[in-house]
Amino acid sequence: MKKVEKTKQAKKGKLDSIFPLERENFIILGVGLLVIILGYIALSENKVEGFMPLVVAPLLLVVGYCVIVPFGIMYRKKDKPRPPQEVVAPPPQQPS
């Protein structure tokens, strides 16, 4: 019976370490997806030689695909620095 409980705990611990993306990562990825969609909308303008399809749309697409989405995947929240712990030294021994 004990083996079964240990196995469940081991599997549960592994599941937590398998999925590294957190809420902040998904928010950043959502912003990247929104920028990409805006780039495609700007690209679909009817003017062939307009400012939006030739300048704005490629910039939005490059920023979305090459900057925001990779940043959203690689982003990791910084841990708060721990206060330094004082090391207590043992009292000096007197020579006998």
Look at residues 32, 71, 35 and name the one whose alpha carbon lies nearest to residue 56. Answer: 35
Whether 41 maps to a domain, the answer reads: yes
What does the alpha-carbon distance between residue 39 and residue 19 come to, in Å, rounded to a whole number? 30
Q: How confident is the model at residue 83, as a pLDDT? A: 77
* pTM value > 0.85: no
Count of domains forming the chain: 1
Residue 65 neighbours by CB under 8 Å, 6+ apart: 32, 36
Whether the pLDDT of residue 3 is over 70: the answer is no
Whether the pLDDT of residue 82 is over 60: the answer is yes
Q: How confident is the model at residue 12, as a pLDDT? A: 56
**Among the listed ranges 6-10, 39-43, 50-54, 91-95, which one has the minimum average pLDDT value?**
6-10
Look at residues 64, 4, 5, 59 and name the one whose alpha carbon lies nearest to residue 37. Answer: 64
Whether 23 maps to a domain, the answer reads: yes
The tokens for 16 are: 């937590």
Overall average pLDDT of the 77-94 stretch: 78
Look at residues 34, 27, 40, 39 and name the one whose alpha carbon lies nearest to residue 73. Answer: 27
Task: Give the residue with greater pLDDT, 8 vs 28.
Answer: 28
Range of the structural domain that residue 42 is part of: 18-74
Whether 68 maps to a domain, the answer reads: yes
Whether 33 maps to a domain, the answer reads: yes
